[in-house]
Structure 1
Amino acid sequence: MSRNARARGFQKKRHRSGDRRIGNYRLRRKVKPYLTHLRLPFQFLLSPIFLWGYLLAGGTLNATLLVAYLAFHLFLYAGGTALNSYYDRDKGPIGGLAHPPPPPKYLLEFSLVWQLIGFLLALTVNFTVAAIYFVMFWMSIAYSHPRIRLKGHPFGALATIMLGQGILPFYAGWATARGNLDGGAAPGVILAALSATLIIGGMYPLTQIYQLDADAERGDLTSARFLGVENSFRVAMISIAVGGAGAVYIAATNFFWWEAVGLAVFLLIFLAAVMRWRARFHSQTVMQNFKTVMLLYACVTLPFLAWIFLRLVVATWQA
């Protein structure tokens, strides 16, 4: 083969390689906004409620847990936030996303298909888990869709969050471990579910108080707008304190006493951090308040999540 022929062949390979890189780059640019609106890191912060129910039901680390966890946290919650982004079209910071990109053209369809995949996964776990998933899916529709828009009604929004991120995922975790809801009506179990729900309910207004102006522009009377900044902090601290006390009691009656003491100390430190933010709130910018609440959310979630995981490791080892 002549030198010129080899050179032409080399150039063709370079062109093909360059075309593939350009094609991959364009594909990533098209796909990235869809994945961004799933807000996957934020969904991880919702994990403890589901795993709390799973742990208290006697669950261990296994494939069934993984499938159920992915169904709810990778697909249901993430698809629900994408659905909400489609209707809200936020321009400022929102939960888990400091700079939301414009919703891509097919975000609505993508969010629905994404949640359908999760439902198919839930069906492989058991009927009870799938039924809870089904209810939570329609709650996410009611929360965001303009014709119902529970997000724009303070009590409807709070009820949706406390059910959809509190009681229902707790019992989804319980049903994942046991196959059904047997034993779920015991007083201690109900207290455990309510304690987690109160903490979630207390945090909810705090995730909205930095975006009051944006919600007002949309005409949404959110829980934070209804309560106002000061009352949002008061409700949050009372709710977290009461829910935390319930969680400490459950930890004391189900695990070692020193674990309950550690949980109590952690919650007191967290409440002190919320009070510190309250004192600084009005002097901070929207972005600073957004970063503060996201940091607080991570601080209240990650240690609890780590403790639950260690407990599941112990339960698996002892099984």
Structure 2
Amino acid sequence: MITRSSILHLRIPFSLFLMPVFLFALGLTPNLNESRLLYVFLALHLFLYPSSNGYNSYYDKDTESIGGLKKPPTVTKDLWALSMVFFLIAIGLGSLINWEFASMILVYGLVSMAYSHPSIRLKKYPWLSWLIAGLFQGYFTFAMAYAGLSDFGWDVIVKSHVVIPGFLTSLMLWGNYPLTQVYQHSEDARRGDMTLSRKLGIIGTFSFSALFFTLTGAGFGWYFLDKGLEPILWVFLGAMAPIVLYFLIWFAFVRKQPDRYATYSWAMGMNWISAIVLNAFFIYFFLEYTQVMQVFGY
């Protein structure tokens, strides 16, 4: 029997936070196709990411707040099986496009399992887990989505027109990743996981993220200017403004009282603002760059 606890631990709405990577790939795909768009979206956001969330929750057995769940319910035995079913469905949907896209989903899933599985548990290695999480949730996911949307294979993963935008998404995630751990120090310490945020400390985490957010902004600025997309750059900077403002306000409060403001609520606020404005921007980018609206006379 599937319990309500297990469904909650899939954290399906949390997929919204990773959607900008998919939308960026969608805006750059050369072979737009409605059925592939649907299959890739469902495979990644409805099944692969929730599978990863559930699998890691099963082994973490968190009792304090985690991304998307302020008060996580007690993990039940059916969560592992449910996460595996979702994983197999994701691979099955991927196979409807081609076997290479399905194999990319398989690789992503196996790497995400290594994050929390006790025999490997990448989570306890601060720099390695940071590097792999940002690389796979960013660059690899971008390449995977691009391949699935375009009906391409593994060869696209080394193409410059995929590597550069994919690496930019990793920069963004490398900046945000430590912030997702900043309120979990006590839980991670209890399990013996030396996450990057614990290693850097609360103030160090914010300074580190500020550096990578700056690199991300500069990288996207160069990318849009290099492609002759100055109007889109201005829209991007406008979209980034509320994220930067929220981050600076949060950082100012944290400097004064770290334990009071390095909290789940503040971190989720950052995630929600980022997801809303970045998803909106990349939808705009897709419509503008592909000129889809012009096709329909707009």
* 1:200 paired residue among 155, 169, 173: 173
Q: Distance in 2 between matches of 1:40 and 1:288?
A: 25
Which letter maps to 1:55?
G
**Structure 1 counterpart of 2:51:** 79
Residues 145-195 of structure 1, C-alpha deviations (whole Å, 9 max, x = no match): 001000111122112211221111100121123222566545454221111
- In structure 1, the partner of 2:115 is 143
How far apart in 2 are the matches of 1:244 and 1:33? 39
Could you say which residue in structure 2 is the equivalent of 1:16? Answer: none
Aligned residues, how many?
A: 291
Cα separation, 1, equivalents of 2:38 and 2:282: 15
* Alpha-carbon displacement from aligned partner over 1:285-310 (angstroms, at most 9, x marks no partner): 67872111111112122222122223
Gapped regions of structure 2 (runs ≥ 5): none
Q: Which moved more, 1:82-91 or 1:245-254?
A: 245-254
Taking structure 2 as the reference length, what is the TM-score of the superposition? 0.89
Q: Against the structure 1 CA distance between its residues 250 and 285, is the aligned structure 2 distance closer, same or farther, given a 3 Å change threshold?
A: same
Aligned to 2:206: 233
Aligned-partner residue type, residue 72 of structure 1 = L
* Residue of structure 2 equivalent to 1:24: none
Alignment of 1:213-292 (within 5 A): 213-254=186-227, 256-281=229-254, 283=257, 289-292=263-266
CA distance in 1, matches of 2:287, 2:84: 34
| Aligned partner of residue 125 in structure 1, secondary structure | coil
> Is the counterpart of residue 302 in structure 1 residue 258 in structure 2?
no
Contact 1:60 1:313 in 2 (8 A): no
- Between 215-224 and 291-300, report the one with greater CA deviation: 291-300
Provide closer, same or farther for how the CA distance between residues 261 and 301 of structure 1 changes in structure 2, counting only shifts above 3 A: same
Q: Distance in 2 between matches of 1:47 and 1:126?
A: 22
**With structure 1 as the length reference, what TM-score do the two structures score?**
0.84
Give, in whole Å, the separation in 2 of the partners of 1:240 and 1:267: 10
Which of 43, 55, 64 is equivalent to 2:36?
A: 64
CA RMSD of aligned residues (A): 2.3
Name the CA shift for 1:249/1:58 in 2 (closer, same or farther; >3 Å): farther
Whose Rg is larger? 1
Aligned mates of 1:59, 1:89 — CA distance in 2: 42
- Identical aligned pairs, as a percentage? 30
C-alpha separation between the residues in 2 aligned to 1:255 and 1:60? 22
Q: Does 1:45 align with 2:45?
A: no
| CA positional deviation for 1:317 | 4.2
Q: Is structure 2 residue 108 aligned with structure 1 residue 119?
A: no
Spell out, residue by residue over 1:232-286, the C-alpha distance to the aligned partner (whole angstroms, 9 max, x if none): 1111111121122212332334464222012124334423321221221263767
Shift of 1:59: 5.2
Q: Which residue of 1 aligns with 2:8?
A: 36
